[in-house]
Amino acid sequence: MTYTEILSISAAVIITLVFLFFLTRRNASVKNKKPNPSVVTAISAFFKGDDNTAIEQLKNVAFKGQANPEIYLILGFLQKKKGDYTRAAQIHEMLLGNSDIDKEFKNALYGELAYDYMLAGQYAKAVALLKQESQILNKPENLITMARSALALQSYDNAINYHTKYNKMTGKTIPGFFEKCMVEKAVNAQNIQNSMKYIKSALETNKACRPARIIKALIYLQNEKLNKSIEEFKSILDDGLLRDMNDFKNVEKAYIAAGKEAELHNILKDLTLKGAINPFIHLALADYYEYNNDSHSAKILLESYIELPDAKIIAAKEYASRYNNKLLIHALSEVYSYKCRQCGFETDEYKDDCPKCASYDSIYPK
């Protein structure tokens, strides 16, 4: 189950519990009081899918000092659900100042607040908060927050250490996390030797790590080891690891430097004839035809490709755009082009990390 799904379910459960709390409160002094109208309205709005009204009604209660801790907790959940992580953090900060909350609740809240900070891009605050509250640092979910925040702060060794602790505690890993650390260390390394060392570490963990493979080939190119660079890029093509046209331009750069541009185009032709399903191989070859004033061949190539049963959406959308195929444009208008290989999240934009499950280098053409 994804974090977003858990968040929605948790919010529903919490709101229901609070609603029951107001209806069944056992304290005799308040037993005959009616539930706060704003809370009832908020709960009704939430279950109708109107989060904005729910938030406004609960804010009316919370900011007048009439709220118990659960109200703040609900507000934080709803703000996070909206993607307003800074506001969620502010609400949870307000809740921490409440003297009525018990220690266990407070410890859980520290972890929630640190996660808010991380999602809001306030990585240093997330790290500082959890370090300050050392008794809760070693909870699995907090170790993930620390690892990701440390990585964002380019504190790679700390990030790996937190990830290692998480792995030892749970037997699990954050998908692609170690590889991402190594790739970023390679990019920021002070010399080529260290860059290659980090890339090799990433590839020992995952031989199909696309960013590491491309950086390795570019390091060879930078050091004028053209044959090794071309060999690496050829394997990237064969393995179907192109994820956008920038990837292909890096491939092309190496072949041009070696004076083997014609060889590259023959490789592309051979791959398309063998039924390569990666759309960027077909798009690159179509661009080559267009560049050589052979639009007819480009059109035939893309037409033949999008008719394959395993054809990718990206090339079909490109074909529809290039040749103004309105029927195809309409058919694909609500179809996403990329999909996360870890959680199945779909999008029209590729990203280094999946927006849903945060897996590294997992967004690829459908």
| Through-space distance between the first and last CA atoms of the chain, rounded to whole angstroms | 21
Summary count for the chain: helices (H), strands (E): 20, 3
Q: How far apart are CA 353 and CA 340, in angstroms?
A: 9
Tokens coding 263 = 């060889």
Q: Which helix (H) or strand (E) holds 54?
A: helix 51-62
Q: Mean pLDDT, the chain, as a whole number?
A: 85
Q: Which residues contact 102 (CB under 8 A, 6 or more apart)?
A: none
Q: Which CATH number fits domain 175-257: 3.90.180.10, 1.10.1040.10, 3.30.70.20, 1.25.40.10?
A: 1.25.40.10
Q: Which helix (H) or strand (E) holds 199?
A: helix 192-205
Q: What is the DSSP string of 68-120?
A: -HHHHHHHHHHHHHHT-HHHHHHHHHHHHT-TTS-HHHHHHHHHHHHHHHHHT
pLDDT confidence bin for 319, thresholds 50/70/90: very high
> Residue 175: which of 200, 206, 196, 199 has the closest Cα?
206
Tokens coding 336 = 């996403």
Interhelix angle 103-119/69-82, nearest 10 degrees: 20
Share of the chain above pLDDT 70, in %: 88
* For range 196-201, the mean pLDDT: 97
The values of phi and psi at residue 170, to 5°, are -115, -15
Residue 314 burial (10 A CB sphere; 0-12, 13-18, 19+): buried
**Beta carbons of 283 and 315 less than 8 angstroms apart:** yes
SS3 at position 312: coil
64-71 contacts, C-beta under 8 A, 24 or more apart:
66/36, 68/100, 69/95, 69/98, 69/100, 69/101, 69/105, 70/14, 70/17, 70/18, 70/21, 71/18, 71/39
pLDDT at 9 over 60: no
Q: How far apart are CA 221 and CA 225, in angstroms?
A: 6
Q: What is the pLDDT of residues 229-276, one digit of tens each?
A: 999 999 999 998 988 899 999 999 999 999 999 999 999 999 999 988
What is the pLDDT at residue 71?
75
Tokens coding 12 = 């529903």
pLDDT confidence bin for 65, thresholds 50/70/90: low
Cβ density class 52-81: b for 16+ within 10 Å, e for less: eebbebbbbbbeeeebbbbbbbbbbbbbbb
- Kindly report which listed range (52-61, 79-88, 169-178, 261-270) carries the lowest average pLDDT score: 52-61
Q: How far apart are CA 329 and CA 350, in angstroms?
A: 20
pLDDT confidence bin for 50, thresholds 50/70/90: confident
Q: Where are the domains of the chain?
A: 1-101, 175-257
